[in-house]
Amino acid sequence: MKLKNLEKKNPAPTPLFREKAGWYGARILILGFGKEGRDNFLFFRKIFPKKVLGIGDRQEISNFKFQISNLLRKDKYVKLHLGKDYLKAIKNYDIVVKSPGIPIHLPEIEKAYKEGKITSQTQIFFENCPGKIIGVTGTKGKSTTTALIYRVLKTGGFKVHLVGNIGNPVLNFLLSATKKDIYVYELSSHQLYNLKKSPQIAVFLNLFPEHLDYYQNFNEYLRAKQNITRYQKKEDYFIFNPKNEKVKATAKITKAKKIPIKTEIVKKFVKSKDIPLIGNFYFLNIAAAIEIGKLFKIQKEKIKKAIKDFKPLKHRLELVGTFKGITFYNDSLSTIPETTILALDSLGDKVQTIFLGGSDRGLDFKNLAKRILKSGIKTLILFPTTGDKIWKEIVSLKKNHKLKAIVVQNMRDGVKLAYQYTKKGKICLLSCASPSFSLFKDYKEKGNLFKKYVREYGQSKKSS
pLDDT band at 319, cuts 50/70/90?
very high
**Higher-confidence position of 25 and 177:** 177
Verify cis geometry, omega within 30 degrees of 0, for the bond prior to 322.
Answer: no
Render 23-83 in DSSP notation, one character per residue. HHH--EEEE--SHHHHHHHHHHHHH-TT--EEEEESS-GGGS-HHHHHHHHH-TTEEEEES
% of residues, the chain, pLDDT over 90: 83
Q: Which pLDDT score, from 0 to 100, does residue 6 have?
A: 41
Q: How many residues does the chain have?
A: 464
Stretch 181-206: mean pLDDT: 97
Given a cut of 70, whether residue 298 has pLDDT beyond it is yes
Instruction: Give the separation between CA 95 and CA 290, rounded to whole angstroms.
Output: 40
Q: For the segment 385-429, what is each residue's pLDDT rounded down to a tens digit? A: 999 999 999 999 988 888 999 999 999 999 999 999 999 999 999
**Higher-confidence position of 107 and 68:** 107
Q: Which pLDDT score, from 0 to 100, does residue 83 have?
A: 94
449 touches 315 (CB < 8 A)? no
Q: For the segment 359-390, what is each residue's pLDDT rounded down to a tens digit? A: 998 899 999 999 999 999 999 999 999 999 99
Given a cut of 60, whether residue 155 has pLDDT beyond it is yes
Stretch 440-450: mean pLDDT: 96
Given a cut of 90, whether residue 173 has pLDDT beyond it is yes
Q: Which pLDDT score, from 0 to 100, does residue 373 have?
A: 96
Closest residue by Cα to residue 434 from 369, 371, 387: 387
Closest residue by Cα to residue 428 from 326, 357, 347: 326
Given a cut of 80, whether residue 253 has pLDDT beyond it is yes
- Report CA 370 to chain centroid distance, whole Å: 27
Stretch 56-65: mean pLDDT: 86
What structural domains and CATH numbers belong to the chain? 3-119 (3.40.50.720), 123-308 (3.40.1190.10), 318-459 (3.90.190.20)
**Whole-Å CA distances, 222 to 208, 212, 246:** 9, 11, 8
- List beta partners, residue 353: 379, 428
Q: Which pLDDT score, from 0 to 100, does residue 458 have?
A: 93
Secondary structure class of 441 (helix, strand, coil):
coil
Given a cut of 60, whether residue 114 has pLDDT beyond it is yes
Given a cut of 90, whether residue 73 has pLDDT beyond it is no
Q: Which pLDDT score, from 0 to 100, does residue 13 have?
A: 32
Given a cut of 60, whether residue 16 has pLDDT beyond it is no
Instruction: Give the separation between CA 231 and CA 195, rounded to whole angstroms.
Output: 9
Average pLDDT, the chain: 92
DSSP 88: G
Helical packing angle, 300-308 and 282-295, nearest 10°: 150
Stretch 14-25: mean pLDDT: 49
% of residues, the chain, pLDDT over 70: 94
Instruction: Give the separation between CA 455 and CA 464, rounded to whole angstroms.
Output: 14
pLDDT band at 4, cuts 50/70/90?
very low
Given a cut of 60, whether residue 357 has pLDDT beyond it is yes
Q: Which pLDDT score, from 0 to 100, does residue 100 have?
A: 95
Given a cut of 60, whether residue 332 has pLDDT beyond it is yes
Q: Which pLDDT score, from 0 to 100, does residue 137 have?
A: 98
Given a cut of 80, whether residue 275 has pLDDT beyond it is yes
pTM over 0.85: yes
Average the pLDDT over each of 62-76, 278-292, 416-430 and give the range with the smallest value: 62-76
